[in-house]
Amino acid sequence: MIHKQLSRFDVFASLDVEELHEVAYITDRVHVQKGQHLFYHGDEMEKLFFIISGTVKIYRTDQEGNEQIVNFFQQGEMFPHHGLFRTDNYPANSIVFQDATLLVIHKADFENLLMKHDRIALKMFNYLGSVILDLHKRLQEKLLSSTDQQLLSLLKRLMISNGMVITPEETKINIKMTKQEIGSMVGMTRETVSRNISKFKKLDILYEESGYIVIRNDKLREYK
């Protein structure tokens, strides 16, 4: 069962059945309820997580206790993305946002796996490269884009990672987020987020339904 679930992840997709069973041998499957932490900022990094179902939130808090959301991860994604082959600590907190089923591999076991299987190592390095490019793009948006463009860029990313097509013209971001949570992902106040979302509603780019944001795809593409 676990070996079949592992094959759904891109980093393991090229492995044959025997190799997948080898990975499954070092993998645990756990079910975690909403609100439970997987790790805290500063804990020794010991495990890697692969999401079968559910949603996990990665966040930091500043000295005043304000929360900054780093990312949401869902089905088919893995985290954290750093710390392999060196002693390191988790750089943020991780909490289950929606009940989740996870595959868990100890970091030391995964490192041994990478040294043994070139194909997994190559897939992993390619994956990490895409993560670095995404972070670079976010930094550019923060430095060079207006608040409405920053917010639209965030919504586009969430459509890709957490979107659910409900009609050919509409995509629902399948995470319930408050304006404060959205703001914490892009460094905006709740008021700035609310003002821009109201603007997007007037332009018919999006609407809200039962706490979810629904994007009108054509309108989003047309917005400059």
Task: Note the pLDDT tens digit of each residue in 45-93.
Answer: 999 999 999 999 999 988 888 888 888 898 888 999 877 777 789 989 9
pLDDT of residue 125: 82
Statement: residue 98 has pLDDT above 80: yes
Cβ atoms of residues 197 and 206 within 8 Å: yes
Q: Which residue has the higher pLDDT, 86 or 115?
A: 115
| b/e map 47-81, b = 16+ CB within 10 Å | bbbbbbebbbbbbeeeeeeeeebbbbbbeebbbbb
Q: For the chain, give the mean pLDDT.
A: 88
Return the CATH number of the domain spanning residue range 146-222.
1.10.10.10
* Residue in this structure with the two tokens 């979107």, named with its chain if needed: 163
Q: Is the Cβ–Cβ distance between 111 and 85 less than 8 Å?
A: yes
The H or E element spanning position 91 is none
Cα 141 to Cα 203: distance, rounded to the nearest angstrom: 22
Q: What is the pLDDT of residue 144?
A: 60
Asked if residues 169 and 187 have their Cβ atoms less than 8 Å apart, the reply is no
Q: For the chain, what are the domain ranges?
A: 2-141, 146-222
Specify which of 4-8, 115-119, 135-139 reaches the highest per-range mean pLDDT. 4-8
Residue type for position 127 = Y
Confidence (pLDDT) at 47? 94
**Alpha-carbon Rg of the chain, whole angstroms?**
19
Residue 31 or 149, more confident: 31
Compute the distance between CA of residue 21 and CA of residue 132 in angstroms, rounded to an integer.
30
Distance CA 96, CA 6 (A): 20
Region of poorest pLDDT, from 28-37, 79-88, 198-207? 79-88
Average pLDDT over residues 9-20: 86
- Smallest CA-to-CA distance from 155 within 96, 56, 92, 223 is with 223
Whether residue 147 is predicted with pLDDT greater than 90 in this model: the reply is no
Q: Is pLDDT at 132 greater than 80 in this prediction?
A: no
User: What's the CATH code, domain 2-141?
Assistant: 2.60.120.10
pLDDT at residue 136, rounded to an integer = 67
What is the band of 145 on the pLDDT scale with cuts at 50, 70, 90?
low
CA quadruple 10, 14, 16, 17: dihedral, nearest 10:
10
